[in-house]
Structure 1
């Protein structure tokens, strides 16, 4: 078996994600398929590249050696492909273009709508990805012009050198979603202790999400049962009272679910706009800020939080 770039890309994804499950989601393949591919690579090299355990996958000594040589090749190929695609798109384009990326957010629709009004005649494309790291590398590789990402507190993102960035929100609190009939839902602010007996659900494929939640729960002396899954599944379980889950404070009200702030705001993220140095940020940032204010106005609890913290984002659009 000869190693190809796709094999090296898979190894890098496993190392970056720290687990086969998360790496498979980022690569868009099934976990069994990725596991089989890793086993074939290891058989070809005659040794294990990752040690597997309950906490995930960690590179072995040989794995670190292979990764040190694989990463420059993968990044070089990504840059080559990105540059080729950029040139091909530029050749086809009749006018200006803007390729934006974003992690999941309630403000994407408003941002996109505002950009289309602000930049008439511009070909605007959108890529949504669960991984902020993947979006940052897409910007660095020339496959995106600009990306809106969130950085979990305590789990800093590795922003590629040379990119420019602006902070939209230095510390956005993460609220908690719970069933309407949950006892804690009767209160305007929820204490972590009130959720000690609940099953928590987090999406481990979101960069830093599980580590951030685990750190906060541990600091509070809590060790609740945890489910790993996407937040669409989480919502259905929350409604049934089977789990609670962190959520964005801009999450809209629902008749079947309560959204509440956590006392002391222990969970938080930083919101960043990151761009290629050749991309002007002003228009994109201004429209993103306006879209964010719109979303905050619709979420009453978060709007009150912004007012209490004297945030300029609390003012009307």
Structure 2
């Protein structure tokens, strides 16, 4: 593993918090995930950075060296981001918008809308199933804006200087093959799927835990969960190997129907993120407005979602 700026920020956060538990809370991570990340950083640097004690953690000699260097490197990178932002806004400079996002149709819809409002801008995209990876790329200046998401009301991925704004909240639907016994239902109760195997696209938030908890409340434990890319998920559902979990905006796909779950036990909150230093308020407001309109367009193209919104009186 190569050392990255986000790793230095993680080390700084642990030192500032004085304990892994407090640092994990500040970063919006589970403590086991932060501990695993610290071990990877320590392996990359060749030794332990902290010693754990009853009252928290303290830096080792190597840890002090890394912290000292980070106090120089991180402010320098922040200043570089400011300089780059000023350069990008200078008259005569062609704007290059670097957009990131997780799986789903929203990123493409946003690019389409931005192409209309900024016809001279060059746009590139980067996709990742990891919300934390997207947050890291924003923090390091490798992305201008990122579409990520959280399960329900969970906190957005944390990184210093990032701003997250809500685009929309979708119910989580279930995908079943067109010939499935429940395919003609207006909605499906989770208990009716107790005997199924499942498929979803992986993430590093709490969605998996929330799904398991919802199944437990329904009185069963999921038989198996396939975590895979979107194309493989679609295939597993089409051939009847599994039922899938998807956002309500999932596009119409041959051989598959999407149905809401009774009581909406799971929800997905779409977020747009950017770095407060590198993005001006006007640009951020424009991209956020376009993201919200892009979501409305994607939602309107889904028959099952529009029916759900009408039934629940969502404007």
If the TM-score is normalised by the length of the shorter chain, which range does it land in? 0.7 to 0.9
> Quick one: structure 1 residues 76 and 173, their matched pair in 2 at CA, closer, same or farther if it must change by over 3 Å?
farther
| Equivalent residue number for residue 219 of structure 2 | 221
SS of residue matched to 2:225: strand
Q: Is the 8 A contact 1:101 1:147 kept in 2?
A: yes
Provide the rounded CA distance (Å) in 1 between the counterparts of 2:68 and 2:303: 47
Matches within 5 A, 1:19-168: 41=43, 45=47, 61=52, 90=87, 94-153=93-152, 155-168=154-167
- Between the aligned partners of 1:205 and 1:65, the Cα distance in structure 2 is 31
Q: Does 270-279 or 193-202 show the bigger shift?
A: 270-279
CA distance in 1, matches of 2:233, 2:80: 39
1:297 and 2:300 matched: yes
Task: Tell me the SS of whatever aligns to 2:179.
Answer: coil
Residue segments in structure 2 that go unaligned for 5+ positions in a row: 12-23
Aligned-residue RMSD, C-alpha = 4.1
CA deviation map 1:72-91 (0-9, x unaligned):
97898677668658867958
2:264 maps to 265
Shift in CA distance, 4/311, structure 1 to aligned 2, threshold 3 Å: closer
2:177 pairs with one of 160, 163, 179: 179
Looking at structure 2, the residues matched to 245 and 257 of structure 1 have their Cα atoms a distance apart, in angstroms, of 10
- State how far apart, in whole Å, the 2-side matches of 1:257 and 1:224 are: 21
Contact 1:250 1:299 in 2 (8 A): yes
> Aligned pair 1:255/2:258, yes or no?
no
* 1:185 aligned counterpart, secondary structure: coil
Which residue matches 1:308? Answer: 311
Classify 1:155/1:166 alpha carbon distance in 2 versus 1 (closer, same or farther; 3 Å): closer
- C-alpha contact (below 8 Å) 1:116/1:122 kept by paired residues: yes
Question: TM-score, normalization: structure 2?
Answer: 0.72
The structure-2 alpha-carbon separation of the partners of 1:194 and 1:163, relative to structure 1 and needing over 3 Å to count, comes to: same
Is the 1:202–1:209 Cα contact (8 Å) retained in structure 2?
Answer: no
Alpha-carbon distance between aligned partners in 2 of 1:227 and 1:190, rounded to the nearest angstrom:
19
Task: For 1:121 and 1:160, locate their aligned partners in 2 and report how far apart those are by CA, in whole Å.
Answer: 31
- Quickly say closer, same or farther: Cα 1:136–1:182, change in 2 above 3 A: same
Asked if structure 2 preserves the Cα contact closer than 8 Å seen for 1:139 and 1:146, the reply is: yes
Aligned-partner Cα distance in 1 for 2:237–2:306:
23
Q: TM-score, normalization: structure 1?
A: 0.72
Q: Secondary structure at the match of 1:197?
A: coil
- Deviations along 1:83-112, whole A, 9 cap, x unmatched? 658867958993233222222221222210
Aligned match of 1:55: none
- Name structure 1 gaps, 5 residues minimum: 24-36, 50-58, 313-317
